[in-house]
């Protein structure tokens, strides 16, 4: 019988792997992702200051004690607006330094698996490493189940029917822009809700969609919360939270 590790395939020295670890439940990792977490020389991950790192926490059941790890701690996350000079300067320097550290490991012949929540190419920090390193080193990206996929599954929400269009909107957009985009789509996913929850709720209400909107916090994780957006009265939500508005297209 073929073992799961054989099916998943191994890791090559000097290669960077962007490993999509899915929305939160370790059982939603792909075979390739789970195999690489076990096969690479070094598991690397990003983490917010003082926290264990969500992607690292997701793969905990797969990590062996001997596995070498590298933790890269963000100097800041959502404390200041992403448009501010401070954010751009600090995050830019952080990504530059992190890419240099990864490059040194790759040059030494190590295989490095950089964990990414959900899918690496979907609003992922991994992309900032890919941009800096893919020209000089072999890189393999392993797709993951996106956060939104995990959330609409757990919320039991079929999202797009027939010709429905789907808009994926960052909650960091201005309120007017959110309303405008929401009015021009059938279904919507609003990401990065966190500190934007109050504004997002107002925008959804102005667009006339509040009765259809569902708030999902930490979807597929142990402390998941799912409730109508209309019942969310606080101005802030969790960092891992999104709003889902299903389409109402053709049903046969």
Counting contacts by CB under 6 A, is residue 192 touching ligand SAM? yes
* Pairwise CA distance, residues 86 & 90, whole Å: 6
Tokens of 50: 């003082």
Measured from the CB of residue 145, what is the shortest distance to ligand SAM in angstroms?
A: 8
Q: Which of 72, 74, 94, 122 binds ligand SAM (CB under 6 A)?
A: 122
* Pairwise CA distance, residues 203 & 188, whole Å: 12
Counting contacts by CB under 6 A, is residue 186 touching ligand SAM? no
Overall residue count recorded for the chain in this entry: 252
Nearer to ligand SAM, 123 or 161 (CB): 123
End-to-end, the C-alpha distance of the chain in Å comes to 43
Question: Segment contacting ligand SAM (CB under 6 A): 3-11, 92-100, 196-204, 215-223?
Answer: 215-223
Q: Which of 193, 204, 207, 244 binds ligand SAM (CB under 6 A)?
A: 193
Residue with tokens 């000079």: 85
Counting contacts by CB under 6 A, is residue 87 touching ligand SAM? no
Strand ranges, E, within 12-161: 16-20, 42-47, 68-73, 112-116, 139-142
Measured from the CB of residue 86, what is the shortest distance to ligand SAM in angstroms?
A: 19
Question: Segment contacting ligand SAM (CB under 6 A): 43-51, 63-71, 225-233, 234-242?
Answer: 234-242
Measured from the CB of residue 46, what is the shortest distance to ligand SAM in angstroms?
A: 10
**What is the size of the binding site for ligand SAM (CB under 6 A)?**
25
* Pairwise CA distance, residues 37 & 40, whole Å: 6
Counting contacts by CB under 6 A, is residue 118 touching ligand SAM? yes
Whether the CB-CB separation of 90 and 74 falls below 8 Å is answered with no
CA of 50: how far to CAs of 46, 71, 171, 249, in Å?
12, 12, 25, 45
* Pairwise CA distance, residues 140 & 9, whole Å: 12
Counting contacts by CB under 6 A, is residue 161 touching ligand SAM? no
Nearer to ligand SAM, 191 or 209 (CB): 191
Counting contacts by CB under 6 A, is residue 209 touching ligand SAM? no
Measured from the CB of residue 57, what is the shortest distance to ligand SAM in angstroms?
A: 12
Counting contacts by CB under 6 A, is residue 218 touching ligand SAM? yes
Counting contacts by CB under 6 A, is residue 241 touching ligand SAM? yes
Strand ranges, E, within the chain: 16-20, 42-47, 68-73, 112-116, 139-142, 166-170, 187-191, 214-217, 225-228, 241-245
Greatest alpha-carbon span in the chain: 58
Counting contacts by CB under 6 A, is residue 169 touching ligand SAM? no
Counting contacts by CB under 6 A, is residue 117 touching ligand SAM? yes
- Judged by the rule CB under 6 A, the positions of this chain that interact with ligand SAM are 23-24, 116-119, 122-124, 146-147, 150-151, 191-194, 216, 218-220, 239-242
């Amino acid at each position: 019988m073929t073992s799961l590790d054989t099916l998943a395939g191994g890791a090559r020295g000097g290669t960077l792997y962007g490993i999509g670890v899915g929305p939160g439940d370790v059982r939603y990792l792909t075979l390739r992702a789970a195999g690489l977490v076990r096969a690479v020389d070094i598991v690397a991950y990003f983490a917010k200051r003082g926290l264990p790192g969500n992607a690292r926490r997701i793969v905990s059941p797969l990590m062996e004690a001997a596995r070498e790890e590298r933790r890269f701690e963000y100097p800041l996350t959502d404390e200041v607006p992403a448009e501010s000079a401070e954010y751009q300067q600090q995050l830019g320097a952080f990504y530059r330094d992190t890419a240099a550290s990864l490059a040194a490991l790759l040059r030494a012949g190590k295989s490095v698996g950089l964990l990414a929540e959900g899918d690496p190419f979907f609003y992922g920090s991994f992309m900032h490493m890919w941009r800096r390193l893919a020209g000089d080193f072999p890189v393999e990206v392993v797709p993951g189940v996106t956060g939104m996929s995990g959330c609409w599954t757990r919320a039991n929400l079929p999202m797009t029917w027939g010709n429905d269009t789907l808009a994926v909107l960052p909650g960091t957009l201005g309120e007017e822009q959110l309303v405008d985009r929401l009015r021009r789509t059938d279904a919507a996913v609003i990401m990065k809700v966190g500190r934007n929850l109050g504004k997002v709720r107002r925008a959804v209400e102005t667009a006339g969609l509040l009765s259809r909107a569902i708030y999902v916090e930490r979807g597929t994780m142990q402390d998941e919360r799912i409730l109508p957006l209309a019942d969310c009265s606080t101005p802030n939500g969790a960092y891992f939270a999104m709003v889902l508005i299903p389409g109402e297209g053709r049903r046969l």
